[in-house]
Amino acid sequence: MFYREAGVYGPSYAFDLRILRLREDRVALGALLVLAFAVVPFVGTDYWFSAVLVPFLVLALAGIGLNLLTGYAGQLSIGSAAFMAVGAFASYNLTLRIPGLPLLASFALGGVFAALTGVVFGLPSLRIKGFYLCVSTLAAQFFVEWTFTKFSWFSNDNASGVITAPPLVILGHDFGTPSGRYVLTLSIVAVLTLIAKNLVRSRVGRSFMAIRDMDTAAAVIGIPIFRTKLLAFATSSFYCGVAGALWAFAYLGTVEPHGFDLNRSFQILFIIIIGGMGSIAGAFLGAAFIVLLPLLMDNVATAFFAGVIDPGNLENVQKIVFGGLIIFFLIKEPDGLVRLFLIARQKVRLWPLSN
């Protein structure tokens, strides 16, 4: 009843190739974007911008990056935080050493540097397959962390190796306020999401999925395996690099190499597994879960249990609940939250009938 599926005929190929075929879906997405761009910046509080929305968006972007590599192309990677670090430090150094470089250009170039690093550490993917491939990205993880800690050139010879982000100014407009950072991050993430969505629907995306499903067969039908794998590494690392630059510039305002350690890589891997591998929307759902759930638990715990349980134990309980929920989700819905969402949407489409 809410959806009009019947009678939707496309008068042209362009109509049929749209990302969202049904008008209802487009209206819903449009409403969401209007809400995000036009309503939230005026209604939200500092806390929501600085501590919830911006990390959610940045982690979703990193999740999209990792999804391109692991979810769509099937190459397991546990080093996504290293590529984020490369993006962050590269953007910082470019902004610092090239006066007058526009902020967006430095983000993009930071992403390019991250992409190059990704290609270098993706080279072993020709020989190594499956689970063993994670050693390459793990090596990237530790090597990149070491490089940025060791060579103080990267952090402008700051004795402690921590960089502080330069002011966020685009075309004279200062985005340094919490709502400004939110709008900046949202715009960049929205544009990159659109690009990613189109990428996975294109020939390139289909070749990624062919390699994931069975790369020997893909080679047989003529997909250039090595080039495609490297392209997957490159695009994935580009996204992670931009996410890293946003993390440093728009979220924390500072970066130390340990902020991009193995735990961050695992966090992003959690995001795509919980959100749903092989799905762009899944990255957003997973990031929402990872960012919001601990905050929700913390707030519930402080509100109801602060007097009864000692704060340290409260934290341990939260850890147990978090781990338990991850296992629960993996048992109940291995395809991730996006599957739940799609099932729900399907129910709404068919309502009041059922399948």
Q: Is 48 in the site for other proteins (CB under 8 A)?
A: yes
Which position among 45, 173, 174, 202 is part of the footprint of other proteins (CB under 8 A)? 45
Residue pointed to by tokens 């939230």: 40
Gyration radius of the chain's alpha carbons: 21
C-alpha triplet 73, 76, 77: angle, nearest 5° = 110
> In 3D, which of 286, 267, 268 has the Cα closest to residue 341?
286
The dihedral of CA 89, 92, 97, 102: what is its sign?
positive
Q: Which two tokens stand for residue 245?
A: 């630059």
Q: Is 253 in the site for other proteins (CB under 8 A)?
A: yes
Q: How far is the CB of 52 from other proteins (least distance, A)?
A: 8
Segment 161 to 180, residues that bind other proteins, using CB under 8 A: 161-162, 164, 166-167
Which position among 149, 190, 209, 225 is part of the footprint of other proteins (CB under 8 A)? 149
Give 205 or 257: the residue with its C-beta nearer to other proteins. Answer: 257
Q: Which two tokens stand for residue 132?
A: 């063993």
- CA pair distance 190, 186, nearest whole angstrom: 6
Q: Is 337 in the site for other proteins (CB under 8 A)?
A: yes
Which window, 10-18, 26-34, 112-120, 127-135, contacts other proteins (CB under 8 A)? 127-135
Containing H/E element for 26?
Answer: helix 23-34
Segment 275 to 314, residues that bind other proteins, using CB under 8 A: 277, 288-289, 292-293, 295-296, 298-300, 302-314
Which position among 83, 92, 182, 251 is part of the footprint of other proteins (CB under 8 A)? 251
Q: Is 233 in the site for other proteins (CB under 8 A)?
A: no
Q: Is 118 in the site for other proteins (CB under 8 A)?
A: no
Q: Is 127 in the site for other proteins (CB under 8 A)?
A: yes
Q: Is 136 in the site for other proteins (CB under 8 A)?
A: yes
DSSP 194-222: HHHHHHHHSHHHHHHHHHHH-HHHHHHTT
Which window, 7-15, 45-53, 179-187, 234-242, contacts other proteins (CB under 8 A)? 45-53
Q: Is 159 in the site for other proteins (CB under 8 A)?
A: yes
Give 114 or 337: the residue with its C-beta nearer to other proteins. Answer: 337
Which position among 20, 32, 152, 227 is part of the footprint of other proteins (CB under 8 A)? 152
Give 29 or 162: the residue with its C-beta nearer to other proteins. Answer: 162
- CA pair distance 328, 60, nearest whole angstrom: 22
Q: Is 139 in the site for other proteins (CB under 8 A)?
A: yes
H helix intervals, 247-310 = 262-275, 280-305
Q: Which two tokens stand for residue 335?
A: 């395809």
Q: How far is the CB of 187 from other proteins (least distance, A)?
A: 22
8 Å CB contact between 68 and 239: yes
For residue 108, CA distances in Å to 66, 89, 90, 117, 340 come to 18, 13, 10, 14, 34
Q: Is 146 in the site for other proteins (CB under 8 A)?
A: yes
Which position among 28, 52, 120, 225 is part of the footprint of other proteins (CB under 8 A)? 52
Q: Is 120 in the site for other proteins (CB under 8 A)?
A: no
- CA pair distance 226, 326, nearest whole angstrom: 34
Residues in the chain: 355
Applying CB under 8 A, the site for other proteins has a residue count of 99
> In 3D, which of 328, 299, 268 has the Cα closest to residue 84?
268
Segment 183 to 222, residues that bind other proteins, using CB under 8 A: 214, 216-217, 220
Which position among 116, 204, 326, 349 is part of the footprint of other proteins (CB under 8 A)? 326
